[in-house]
Structure 1
Amino acid sequence: MPERIMFVQLKTGYDTDAGPCWIGRVTFTKTWRTADFHGRTLRRVTGTAYANFDANFYDVETNEGYWLSGPKRDRTDSRYRHQTPVVDDDVRAEYDAFLAGAPLPGRERG
């Protein structure tokens, strides 16, 4: 299954871009419709299946909305508020290398 280092933010229960956020390893299924992050199964929002327009994934057990995206070198991962995400220990070296200019694992060609 494909793995990516991603920016992940909880959207449900918080004002715009005010939820807790992480930089962590996300594992996707072959179809990229389902992701595993911190033991949660997240499913991609499609059509009008999820009312929160600010989320692109939702937790299948709790229905909480999440935003998943590739991290940005300038650290402006959230759109309106600039909070510092918690960087998971298992991705810290790769994320620091990315911030210094290296490509992310699995994204060497873009």
Structure 2
Amino acid sequence: MKSRIMYLENKETGEARIGRVTFSRTFQTIYYRDKTFHRAGSEKIQGNFFDAETREEYWISGCKKKGSDYHWSNKVPVAIDDDVKVEYWTSIRGAEEKIT
């Protein structure tokens, strides 16, 4: 499965983080840790994916070089998973120093 570092924000709790996700073959499902997210098919929700188990809405998107990863309508603090921190800061954000 293809993997990518992405921004995940729970639209109901406001928790946001950056971590490595994997995709289904059709890219309609995203897997992150022990969660499965399905693409939302309605404009009536705040997110673009929902948790298959809890039905909570999530905004999931690619990380941006300038760091404005949050959804434009809701700026929240963002946690970065330890296993992607160095790759995020060097490959995506363009930092030249090694991040610890």
* TM bracket (short chain): 0.7 to 0.9
Runs (4 or more) in structure 1 with deviation over 4 Å come to: none
User: Residue 58 of structure 1 is aligned with which of 29, 50, 53?
Assistant: 50
5+ long unaligned stretches in structure 2:
none
Q: Percent identical across equivalent pairs?
A: 36
5+ long unaligned stretches in structure 1:
103-110
Kindly state the Cα deviation for residue 81 of structure 1 after the two structures are TM-superposed: 4.0
> What's the counterpart of residue 92 of structure 1?
85
| Greater relative contact order structure (CA < 8 Å, 6+ sep) | 1
Aligned residue type for 1:29: S
User: Is 1:20 aligned to 2:15, yes or no?
Assistant: yes
Deviation track 1:19-62 (CA, whole Å, cap 9, x = no partner) reads: 1100100111010011111310100012x3x841x211001111
Question: What secondary structure does 2:50 align onto?
Answer: strand
> What's the counterpart of residue 32 of structure 1?
27
Question: What secondary structure does 1:8 align onto?
Answer: strand
TM-score by length of 2: 0.83
